[in-house]
Structure 1
């Protein structure tokens, strides 16, 4: 998106890689999608008494905080999607029809979701929401706010996954937040591109669930098998129902440390005499390493 009222005489301040937003969103075909977007920001306006558009020392305190609080670790729901069913009485309990058959149901506290005035979740729509929020809190000399949301350029395999960590004291406890994550796998010190691609395909747009959180398994009226996850965390009660084929189950919690260990254990069982090293990312630039010698 271009800065509002941008002109050659306007002063601009930019901050690249200000923050990474790790979140989940609902897509008609893909279902529940984990995503990680890098946020770049450009502010345009008049210079203040310090000769600045905006003090860099306030960028993280104000701009990053608004971006993180509004979207990070939330489920983004496009209100305009025709397959969405919800009630004003319980606005964060809804049913989402999938174009390929089946549905998703979700219930959570208010702070775990954000409603988007759109029929699809795309970077420009989320950026517009954030720009509106920022204009309300920035000083009057800031005339324009331009947010660019982009995916990390990844050389190699990656997957989109969603999870919830009920034991986490922060926002990771939300049952439907996610990440777009690279993976690196080495066998005996050599990169195994084929194994990376295999796991990326297996975990394409997947929900990684914990057996401890399963409330029930059932077959719906549509003949599709479903899994319902429920738990109570310090932010409140969470529930999520998904088609079973969109879920990958772990016996443990789904922290990135345990995800890396799970993949390493699976590969070690397959290649028992070899050293396996798994570098599993959780979004951009962070994650866990598991080694099985």
Structure 2
């Protein structure tokens, strides 16, 4: 059998539900290997079609969606609303989510792991690839990060693309320089603060209350181009911003917080949004950068 491969085909930025971690933001790099007979051009599959076909299917099926393992015992359906469900965590707290169907993807498993998502994507690709392609291998892997990183989930209701979905996320490194020197202690502090966090916008909050067991909850709701979205989760799993939660505003917020902690220092924050992209915010520099 002949094989071709494409490493680093794309990055899937998404969120998934975990029994103990709750909402988890994730970024997986996609590597693809195709096997089969050579076509009339002497190819298994034309490289020029890889992004046009394979990347499109992967992006449409999983990217910027909430991935839900259907087999988890703590999943509870809303009998009156097929687009709504609750997810009971192992600590007894719960979250509820409602969105258009295109914002979620269901896995036939009890938890989200790369192999389960790969199997789903391989099944989808078999329907669109030519008959000479008989073997499809999708490998999903995390970026190797030397330093601090966090998993965060958010939604951007003003975005015209798929970022408007209320629960999509990223696994993101962070770099913080203080007075021109990298400060790994501050990086680790923010990584701990934003470990498996939902970054919410105050404008989207529709309610706060305390349940009978003493758990404080916060609800978010908004209408965007793709439809109506809502999310309720324990307040301890939320970090609130007064602004929207674009990566530019996230970087600015962290820089502002650090500048307040160290008013006499120069601060530079390089906040990533997944793999290889993000925003930079500086505080304390003069207009000419000195």
Q: What is the TM-score normalised by the length of structure 2?
A: 0.97
Q: 2:199 is matched with which residue? A: 208
* Alignment partner of 1:131 out of 122, 126, 129: 122
Mark the CA change 1:88 to 1:139 in structure 2 (over 3 Å): closer, same or farther: farther
| Residue 25 (structure 1) aligned with residue 25 (structure 2) | no
| Contact 1:84–1:96 (CA under 8 A) maintained in structure 2 | yes
Secondary structure, aligned partner of 2:212: coil
Distance 1:99 1:290 in 2: 38
* Equivalent-residue separation in structure 1 for 2:5 and 2:81 (angstroms): 40
How many residues are aligned here?
A: 284
> In 2, distance between residues paired with 1:221 and 1:58?
56
Check whether the contact 2:174–2:272 (CA below 8 A) recurs between aligned residues.
yes
2:224 paired with 1:255: no
Deviations 1:196-235 (A, max 9, x none): 0000000000000000000000112332100000000000
After TM superposition, the structure 1 stretch with the greater mean CA deviation from structure 2, 90-99 or 246-255, is: 90-99
CA RMSD of aligned residues (A): 0.8
Q: Distance in 2 between matches of 1:90 and 1:71?
A: 23
Hey, what's the Cα distance between the residues in 1 that align with 2:212 and 2:40?
A: 66
Instruction: Give the Cα separation in 1 of the matches to 2:279 and 2:77.
Output: 38
1:169-180 superposed matches below 5 A: 169-180=160-171
Match of residue 187 from structure 2: 196
Gaps of 5+ in 2: 285-290
Structure 1 runs (4+) deviating above 4 angstroms are: none
Cα pair 2:202 2:241 within 8 Å, conserved: yes
Task: Give the secondary-structure state (helix, strand or coil) at the position aligned to 2:166.
Answer: coil
Which of 152, 174, 188 is matched with 1:183 structurally?
174
Kindly indicate whether the alpha-carbon contact (under 8 Å) linking 1:94 and 1:107 is maintained by their aligned counterparts in 2: yes
Q: How does 1:232-271 map to 2 (within 5 A)?
A: 232-271=223-262
Counterpart in 2 of 1:289? 280
Q: Distance in 2 between matches of 1:188 and 1:287?
A: 21
Give the counterpart of 1:97 among 88, 91, 109. 88
Does structure 2 conserve the Cα–Cα contact (< 8 Å) formed by 1:92 and 1:113? no
Superposed CA offset, 1:167-217 (max 9, x none): 000000000000000000000100000000000000000000000000000
Which residue in 1 is equivalent to 2:102? Answer: 111
CA distance in 2, matches of 1:221, 1:132: 44
How far is 1:89 from its partner?
A: 5.8
- 1:120-146: per-residue Cα shift (whole Å, max 9, x none)? 000000000000000111000000100
Determine whether 1:156 maps to 2:137: no
Contact 1:32-1:206 at 8 Å conserved across structures: yes
Partners of 2:14 and 2:27 within 8 A in 1: yes
Q: What is the CA distance between 1:86 and its match in structure 2?
A: 1.1
CA distance in 1, matches of 2:48, 2:243: 41
Query: Out of 110, 115, 121, which is 2:112 matched to?
Result: 121
